[in-house]
Chain A
Amino acid sequence: MAHHYSELRMPLVHGGKTMHDITNDVCGSIEGKPSMLWWVGWMVSGLVALMGVLTIAYQVYKGIGTWGLNKTVGWGFDITNFVFWIGIGHAGTLISAVLFLFRQKWRTSINRSAEAMTLFAVMCAGLFPVIHMGRPWIGFLWAAPYPNLRGPLWVNIRSPLLWDVFAISTYFSISAVFWFIGLIPDVATVRDRAKHWARKFFYGTLSMGWRGSVRHWNHYETTYMIFAGLATPLVFSVHTIVSMDFATSVLPGWHTTIFPPYFVAGAIFSGFAMVLTLLLIARETMNLKQYITQDHLENMGKVIILTGSMVGLAYGTEMFMAWYSGSMYEQYAFINRATGPFAWSYWIMVSCNVISPQTLWFRKLRRSPIFLFIMSIFVNIGMWFERFVIIVTSLHRDYLPSSWAHYYPTHIEVMELIGSFGIFFFLFFCFIRLLPGIAFGEVKGVMKMGQKHKHDDKPTREAPAEVSHV
């Protein structure tokens, strides 16, 4: 495997690690006592998550009236948060599946955390449409096509909202399965190192009796490839379908054919920003700088420039098409976005998403962890506002001026948004404590990259060939 690579390539893992060092480093972070930083992060995010859960309980008890929605602006923070979190999830699948198919070996250091991030982000995303139903225990069931007492009155299969139910649940299931399959060999390693009976039981159950047999690896690698092949079109389909929730309506500002590629690019853009945020924290607090190197950060920076520019191009195209369409409603929707009562949100979006990522053309900035961290926060904010702009500014000016309204989120909505971040980070902190946060089984497989000359110094290559042909 290693022989196919250029000798000029830099090694993916720094510090001259052996295979055993990798196992020790990654397993060490889940075997020893957690650091102070971890405890602080876990408790703070846990408290924020608890606040979110209590707020949701209050909202479900009191009703949707606790939100600032009105007859004109029927979607506000809830759907903004939903689209935002779904978008965050997309980077995980992109890293685990698309970069796998493109043979981007650097993905191995970051794919496990990114996939975990996908799962938690999709959980947060799924929460919002469900609580938006007001009585989720009823509404949730109505979205499922099952024989019922109402006729049976089936779900409307022509509705993009129903496609979304299928897309999101498939996306969550496939991401979870892909993640679990990736975990099995690594969990087996943790199991074989475990001393305490509880750890032996926990990791023994999860590892499914994996022992590293090449007969199993043969099936495993095929399975992994299939999952990458299935997840790649899936990730594109999911945000395409999310964008159709808007694009198939006749609302100015939503009714555009550019939405699917625009949403997919935006999703990858925001997701990579969130991966950067999480990994910059993880490499700092869990001592993983030799695994998540500046080269990894730089690569992610490059993806951010690319997708950020695509998003910028989409904003420009939308403006152009509004003008070119000749439709006064369409033109008004876009002029209103940039100059109306929500202009502040539009300009936050443009400055965070279009202008700020362009600084990453400078190599120095792309390799600076602190700069990237600040940048990733900006992009996260910008991408949240993108969804807010699309949803709220398009809705608040109806066709009839008598229906025009404004939207003010209540503190309940704000607390639920903050609470969703709490849930997301709390789950992530639990994950990096319980399961190997770096897919070391895969990292080991790419260790020899860029080390060919070093390896060939060992007198191993020629001697065995002679002996075995005697």
Chain B
Amino acid sequence: MSDEENNLFFGVFTDEDDCLEATKACTEANFTYHDVIAPYAVHGLDRAMGLPFSKITWVTFLCGTMGCALSFLGMAYMSHWDWPLNIGGKETLPIPALIPIMFELTVLFGGVCTMLALFVFCFLYPGKQARLFHARQTDDRFVIVLEMDEDFIEARAREIFTANHAEDIREVDADYDINSGPEGAA
């Protein structure tokens, strides 16, 4: 974010529907989003922002498939190639008996990799300092943060925010963060 030196313009909303309407209007006005912040998942807000569907499903699919394949190969290696043990005269590569473990490892690989992918996609890690625009943005406040770039028309943004009952509208520096002091200077 440090390479973008545009100032930021944000509005704080108290209701999810207000935020949703304002976001739709901002997308229509072709503004650049710095971020939209919601304390809980509001359905439709991501689409209103113009975000595509998350690609995380591909990670799950690929890693799940890998877990399935690796468990099959691992079991085939152990019981068929490396040490074929005669247990009651049964086959050394019994496909039905492999299915439970193949299923479990498909789920395990798919699940754990999905979690890791979420952290990578969102760049989250333990102890990361969260950047806050409003002290209650994880409680009950919605914030729309716009970049003040060449597409930005302040009067229009102010109009959208006011029409949707924004309780606070502000222009701030590019590195505004309430964690770094009351005035937000880094």
Residues A167 and B100 in contact in the complex (CB < 8 Å), given A219-B56, A460-B15, A464-B22 = yes
In chain B, positions 144-167 with a C-beta closer than 8 Å to chain A are: 159-160, 163-165
Give 1 or 0 for each of B80-104: 1 = CB within 8 Å of chain A CB: 0011010100100010011011011
A218-B51, A445-B41 as given contacts; A170 in contact with B136, CB under 8 Å = no
Bound together, the chains give a CA A170 to CA B40 distance in angstroms of: 29
Given known contacts A1-B44, A227-B114, A445-B42, is B17 in contact with A191 (CB within 8 Å)? Answer: no
Which residues from chain A contact B105 at a C-beta distance below 8 Å?
Answer: 166, 170
CA distance A395 to B163 in the complex (A): 75
* Cross-chain contact of A441 among B41, B122, B132 (Cβ < 8 A): B41
Q: What is the bound-complex CA distance between A302 and B165, given in angstroms?
A: 43
A62 sits at the interface (CB 8 A): no
| Cα(A204)–Cα(B138), bound, Å | 13
- How many residues on chain A are close to B (CB under 8 Å)? 76
| Shortest Cβ gap from B142 to chain A (Å) | 9
Known contacts A158-B97, A464-B18: A170-B107 contact under CB 8 Å: yes
CB–CB A217/B45 < 8 A: yes
Which of A36-44, A146-154, A310-318 participates in binding chain B?
A146-154
Whole-angstrom CA separation of A157 from B95 in the bound complex: 10
User: Which of A167, A212, A221 meets B137, CB within 8 Å?
Assistant: A212
**Residues in B whose Cβ lies below 8 Å from that of A185:** 39-40, 138
Within 8 A of B (CB), among A159-208: 160, 162-163, 166-167, 169-170, 173-174, 177-178, 180-181, 184-185, 188-189, 191-193, 204-208
**In the bound complex, do residue B140 and residue A19 qualify as a contact, i.e. CB atoms below 8 Å apart?**
yes
Enumerate 22 A-B pairs (CB-CB under 8 Å) in ascending A order.
A145-B74, A157-B101, A158-B90, A174-B111, A188-B138, A189-B139, A192-B132, A192-B138, A211-B130, A212-B38, A215-B51, A219-B118, A220-B122, A221-B54, A226-B110, A230-B114, A233-B103, A445-B42, A464-B163, A467-B25, A468-B160, A468-B163
For the complex of A and B, the 4 pairs showing the least CB-CB separation, nearest first, are: A209-B128, A468-B25, A19-B140, A467-B163
Q: How far, in whole Å, are A223 and B117 apart by their CA atoms in the complex?
A: 9
Once the chains bind, are A177 and B40 in contact (CB under 8 Å)?
Answer: no
**B21 interface neighbour in A154, A184, A464, Cβ under 8 Å:** A464
B79 at the A interface (CB under 8 A) = yes
Q: Which of B18, B56, B125, B164 contacts A222 (CB 8 A)?
A: B56
Report B-chain residues with C-beta under 8 Å of the C-beta of A464.
18, 21-22, 25, 160, 163-164
CB contacts (< 8 Å) of B45 on chain A: these are: 214, 217
Picked from A153, A204, A461, the residue with its CB within 8 Å of the CB of B83 is: A153
Q: Taking each of B16, B21, B85, B138, which has the highest tally of chain A beta carbons within 10 Å of its own beta carbon? A: B138
Q: Assuming the A-B contacts A152-B82, A189-B39, are A211 and B104 also in contact, with contact meaning beta carbons closer than 8 angstroms in the complex?
A: no
